[in-house]
Structure formats: structure tokens, C-alpha cells
Amino acid sequence: MRFVRDGEWNINRNTMSADIPFHYPPELISLLVDAVPLLNKTKKDVLLFFRGAGVPASVTDPLAQRLKEAPKEITKYEITRVVLEELNARGEAMLRERREVLRRIVEFSNFSSCWPDDQLKARGLVASIREVVDQKDAFTRMHQERDQERRERLSQAAEATRAKRERAEKIAAAKNKLYALFGADMSVQKRGKQLEFALNGLFAAYGIFVRQAFHLVGQAGEGVVEQIDGVIELKGDLYFVEMKWCRTPVAKAEISEHLVRLMSRAQARGIIISASNFTEPAIHVAREFLQHKVVILATLEEIVTVLEANGDLGELFVKKGSAAVIHKNPFIR
């Protein structure tokens, strides 16, 4: 006789494999054969117990006929063993009946219906059956929980892989848009505008919160008074981003306007990104401005270097921000 598989013990489960012919292992069969006769006073009561559990007449009728013809030649224990072995032998077809028999025994509480001399022994057998079932149920639950944890880990790993792949695809697409600017035939102004879109798309691909370019209109009807290339958030700090595409190094006058914008905004920080380099006067004024606000100078060359090394763009600006605060260097490379 084969032992039942883990998942087949839990009497509350709704499915069970049909390829295992025996679902009550020997130790449980032995306990059940001893318990059922003690829980039922007469042989007819034993048959009624099984019929109440849904055991079909094809199993109980032959036993009832034997009891009618020769009542002294059959015992409650024999009736119990024959029924239980038949339930096991019928496999999947008797799954519900096997569970119902077991449920009725583990939930049995009215021991006053037993013969007085049998009550203590009946209590002990029912307790033993409960213990076996509880142990197996606990073992089953442990395996179920472990399987569930494994499924969750696999699901999380699959989700992480998917997210990583999608992030890599977004970064690759953003990189291509940025690189395309270097060979495109367009005016400096148009190239600068396309640079805004390309870098904002790159920030977004790296998971950096981005607000695209916008402008502010004066309240007295004076039209557009400020043009903001973009705003990003790093480590809880807001950085107003200015992008420059010039053929020559960016000079002091070309960054001053952005510094003025920062002065009118509490807690705002600034990033100035240039396709070319910065002049020494521009770097000096940015360094002096650190007394008031954090400002970072960066070149496209630095960004491309990070991209080619598959580095983290956000980490680049976080490190440059730290250098600006700690070392008073807005243009550390």
C-alpha cells in the first residue's frame, strides 16, 4: 500500500491526483478501523454512519445483506475495514466520501452516544486521528506556503527581468535620439530644441522624474517672461535644467540668465548642460553662485561617456551635486 502524497491529506482541498490508488495510509486505516466501531453502538449504526458520509449503496448493501443473513458472523470492525478498503480501492471516484468520513470523525464530540466503557478509548482514538491529520495538514500547508513563496519569487524575478528589459529598451531609444543630433543637418536653434526633447527623454528612461520644457507668461500682458527647458527631481531635490548647444564654450553671460531664474525660486537647484565646454569665467561665476544655490555644470561628453559605459545617469548628477556642495566645485568631471 502506497503512502498518500502531501497535498492529499488536507480534507478541505478540492483536487487530488487520480493516479494514487490508496489515499488512507496504513496507520490511518488502523486508527479509523478502531475508532468507527467505538463511535457507533451497533453494527447497523456503523452502516448508517458510512451511508451518512455518502458511501454508496454498492459498498454498504452487500454488508447489510450479510448482517441480515448472519448477524453473528460479521463484526463492526469487519464492516468498517471492508468499507474503508473499498473507498481506498475506488480511488478518485470516492475522494469526497473519504474526506467526509474523515471529517465526521475528527469533528466528533458527542461521546455520550458511545457505550460507557468505550468512551475514553474513543476519545483517545479520535484525538490520535486529529493529531495525524493536523500533522499532515501542517506539513501540507508548509509545502503549499513554500510553493507559493517560490511562485512569488519567480514572478518577482520575471517582473524584474521584464522591467529591466523595458528600461534598457527605453534607454537605448533615448540614446539613439540623442546621438542622432550630432549628425543631423539643422540650425543651432533647432538642434538646441531637439536636445531638450532628447535629454528629457533620456532622464525619463532612467526613471528620473521629468517635467518637460515650459514657459511662464507675465501677469501684466507682457507675454512669455521665462522659458524653462525642463525640471528633474533627484533625491528629493528639484533641478531646473538649462540646455545649450553652442559651437564655442559657454560663456558667463550665457549661464547668468539661468542663475537669475534660480534666485527667484526657493530651494531650487540648477543644472546647465552644454554640447561644448564652459569658459573659465562661466565656471567661476557658477562657483561663486554656490553661496546662494546649488548649480551643476555638465557637458554632453560626460553624459555620452556614462551612456557608453552603461552607467547610471541619475548617479552622475547626484555625485556632481555632492561635489558642488562639499567641494564648491560645480564642474567636477
pLDDT of 54 > 80? The answer is yes
- Model confidence pLDDT, tens digit, residues 291-301: 999 999 999 88
- What is the C-alpha to C-alpha distance for residues 240 and 244, in angstroms, rounded to an integer? 13
Residue 300: name the closest of 260, 246, 253 by CA.
246
pTM, whole model, 2 decimals? Answer: 0.50
Whole-number pLDDT of residue 212? 58
For residue 30, what pLDDT band results from cuts at 50, 70 and 90? Answer: very high
Write down the pLDDT at residue 138: 55
Quote the CA–CA distance of 95 and 82 in Å, as a whole number: 16
pLDDT of 224 reads 36
- Give the residue-averaged pLDDT of 189-211: 79
Contact 205, 174 (CB under 8 A): yes
Q: What is the pLDDT of residue 2?
A: 39
Residue 1 has pLDDT above 50, yes or no: no
For residue 93, name the pLDDT band (cuts at 50, 70, 90). Answer: confident
Predicted local distance difference test score (pLDDT) of residue 188 = 67
Q: Which residues pair with 269 in a beta bridge?
A: 239
* pLDDT one-digit tens code per residue, 127-158: 998 888 877 665 556 556 667 778 888 888 89
In the structure, what pLDDT confidence band is assigned to residue 7 with cuts at 50, 70 and 90?
very low
Residue 8 confidence (pLDDT) above 60: no
Per-residue model confidence as pLDDT tens digits over 224-271: 346 777 788 888 888 988 888 888 999 999 898 889 888 888 888 999
Q: Terminal CA-to-CA distance of the chain, rounded, Å?
A: 76
Q: How confident is the prediction for the chain on average, in pLDDT?
A: 82
| Residue with grid cell 533615448, as numbered in its chain | 174
